[in-house]
Structure 1
Amino acid sequence: MLKLNDVVLSFGKKRVLDHLNLEFKQGEIIGLVAPNGTGKSTLMNVILHNLTPQEGEVEYDGLKYQNQKMTMQLHQRICAFPEQSDLFGFMTGRDHLCLYADLWRNQQKKVDDIIKLLQMGNYVDQKVQTYSLGMKQRLCFAMVVAADTPVMLLDEVMNGLDPQNVELISKVLEQLRQENKLIIIASHLLNNLQSYADRILFLGHGHVIEDYRVKEKRDLYLKIRADQEVKDILGKIAYQELPDKMLLIDSNKLTKEELGEMLSTLTKKQIPYSFASVSVEDLFDKFYN
């Protein structure tokens, strides 16, 4: 289990992580969602020990960043998604995969199997300087798979990928979860993230403002158009106005009488509405727009 215990990290007067406490279990895919500059990458860098918090600590299976020996042991268990700028243009994709497999002493996943799994056979033996942005992005993901660590940190792994490759990597992520990997992934592709993540953490003001459990039964929300006539009908009923000109109403916060009266009025006035579980996109709009 990976834990963040009361972690505080500030840049000058700006506190990015504010007494953050989190627990992540093996066999989970955890999504991180927030606007740029609100702590996603910072959180991953703290886990990787690229940034040292002013307070608190990171712990994995009893290991902490307390000395060089423990740090080396932790870095054998955690691999982060590399930047494309970290790739060596004069080396081939296969060279990069072998390098990561050797660095993390991976004897389980063979490089040839990874190349086949991620459909890289037609270009993996070319020098990386000839790769497109999408090919480099897929190689960076394949390098993490080659490391085969128990914990994988993926920051915007889907960037620059076409829909076919987004689907391919999503399927591989699900396979890695079946292998009991703990995967922490930041992504702006919210619908895609919701399709495979177990939990999605919405970050803001140094805290987790929502821990969205994807597979749990969700509360139903009423969606209805945002115009003055509808707002007059709602009266004092609380709603969230979304950027797509729709209103989001938590039906569980209404009494049966309030809900029944409101729906009756909407029906009589032929105003369309729908009930649905709130989506990750809805929550993003709710928290950040």
Structure 2
Amino acid sequence: MIDIQNITVRFGEMNVLNNISMAFEQGQMIGLVAPNGTGKSTFMNVLMNYVKPLNGKIVFKDGLCYSTKQNEVKIHTFVSMMPDQSDLYNHLSGREHLKMFATMWKSDLKLIDETIEALNMGHYVNKKTGTYSLGMRQRLCFAMQIVTNTDIMMMDEVMNGLDPNNVEIISKILLKKKAEGKIIIIASHLLDNLEKYADRIFLFNEGKLIDTNQIIEDFSQAHIKTIRIKNMESNTKKQLHELYPNIKLQTLTNDMTLIHLPSSEASLLSSLTSFLVERNVVDFAFGKVTLNDLYAMYYHEESNVTAS
């Protein structure tokens, strides 16, 4: 459990984190999404006590918080953050790194070979990390996090530099760890992947963490609530707004127009399909608002047309 209470972090005159309060429960995968420089890494650094908040506190199990150095040591036995590639020692092998982390966190050494096998690292793990490619180094950093076997794991851009196969392998390992009851907090720009696996997803805005379900009701539920149209003409948008005044249109900076539906009734879907086809609009798709859509709407929205 993580109970975040009124956390504020200020750099100069700017509140990077602004009076944040929320709780995360065991067995949850938490996704953090935002442009660079908006507070994702700072948030995780506060959870690790690498950055001291101006006010507020983080409370973990048994009421532990970062009130003393002794408490910090206790907390860091069950809370860990994935190392960065710059933390690797080029003269040591991948296996030596894994053994070092497993020993530091006093976890079962059997996890080392299990993790090596799961990540298909066997053909290079005994070589010095100075010979590794960026993708191999990234997999090693993730493996080092996994062998800590802590109850709470934090990862900043864990999928960086990985091909789709390795992204899928890592995702399955994360699901396994979540099923074991761990809290996993991931900051990532791979939005499709995050949407597929995360239980809760938060965007950052002016120092606040905003739950995606607050932005769009039932965002995490797979209901047909959107029609997505590329390069929709202005005249067609105007006609649609006149005929369906209760429907909201949004045009994003990538020229994608989203038609937000008040319901997914078959009659409404049929009527809208006929409207579009009659106007030679054939490149459209029904579905739910995706995390990519939501990101563009929230951070790069170009225009709105709303019922008056």
Identify the TM-score tier after normalising by the shorter chain.
over 0.9
Distance 1:258 1:130, change over 3 A: closer
Q: Which amino acid aligns with 1:243?
A: T
Q: Which residue of 2 aligns with 1:9?
A: 9
State how far apart, in whole Å, the 1-side matches of 2:12 and 2:119 are. 42
Q: CA–CA distance in 2 between the matches of 1:109 and 1:172?
A: 16
Distance 1:203 1:109, change over 3 A: farther
Q: Which amino acid aligns with 1:127?
A: K
Root-mean-square deviation over aligned CA pairs: 2.3
Q: Secondary structure at the match of 2:75?
A: helix
In the other structure, the counterpart of 1:165 is 166
Query: Which piece of structure 1 moves more, 157-166 or 262-271?
Result: 262-271
> Which residue does 2:305 correspond to in 1?
none
Query: CA separation in 1, counterparts of 2:21 and 2:134?
Result: 36
Q: 1:286 aligns with which of 286, 297, 301?
A: 297
Q: Residues 261, 104 of structure 1: CA spacing in aligned structure 2 closer, same or farther, 3 A cutoff?
A: same
Partner of 1:56, secondary structure, is strand
Question: In 2, Cα distance between the equivalents of 1:119 and 1:274?
Answer: 38
The 5 Å alignment of 1:1-289 reads 1-61=1-61, 62-107=63-108, 109-212=110-213, 215-218=220-223, 220-225=225-230, 226-233=232-239, 234-235=241-242, 238-252=248-262, 265-272=275-282, 273-289=284-300
Q: Is the contact between residue 236 and residue 279 of structure 2 (CA under 8 Å) also seen in structure 1? A: no
Which amino acid is the alignment partner of residue 232 of structure 1?
K
Paired AA for residue 111 in structure 1: I
Structure 2: how far apart are the matches of 1:55 and 1:158?
32
Residue type matched to 1:87 in 2?
L
Q: Which deviates the most, 259-268 or 69-78?
A: 259-268
Kindly state the Cα deviation for residue 253 of structure 1 after the two structures are TM-superposed.
8.0
Contact kept, 8 Å, 1:64 with 1:71, in 2: the verdict is: yes
* TM-score, with structure 1 as normaliser: 0.92
Q: Which structure 2 segments of 5+ residues have no match?
A: 301-308
Counterpart-to-counterpart distance in 1, 2:264 and 2:99: 58
Q: Which moved more, 1:190-199 or 1:248-257?
A: 248-257
Q: Is the 1:109–1:146 Cα contact (8 Å) retained in structure 2?
A: no
SS of aligned partner of 1:5: strand
Gaps of 5+ in 1: none
- The CA deviation at 1:274 is 3.5
Q: Tell me how far apart the structure 2 counterparts of residues 139 and 210 of structure 1 sit (CA, whole Å).
A: 31
Whether the aligned pair in 2 keeps the contact of 1:46 and 1:53 (CA below 8 Å) is yes
**Do the aligned partners of 1:194 and 1:214 also contact (CA within 8 Å) in 2?**
no
Question: Is contact 1:92-1:124 (8 Å) kept?
Answer: yes
* C-alpha distance in structure 2 between counterparts of 1:173 and 1:97, whole Å: 18
d(CA) in 2 for partners of 1:16 and 1:60?
Answer: 22
- For 2:50, what is the secondary structure of its paired residue? coil
The Cα shift of 1:218 comes to 4.4
Question: What is the alpha-carbon distance in structure 2 between the residues aligned to residue 17 and residue 219 of structure 1?
Answer: 34
Q: Specify the SS of the correspondent of 2:221.
A: coil
What secondary structure does 1:64 align onto? coil
Asked if 2 retains the 8 angstrom alpha-carbon contact of 1:199 and 1:214, the reply is no
Q: SS at the partner of 1:239? A: strand
Native 8 Å contact 1:33 1:188 kept in 2: yes
Normalised by the length of structure 2, the TM-score is 0.87
Deviation at 1:178, TM superposition (A): 1.2
112-121 or 217-226, larger mean C-alpha shift: 217-226
The alignment covers a number of residue pairs equal to: 289
Report the Cα distance in structure 1 between the residues aligned to 2:94 and 2:51, rounded to whole angstroms. 29
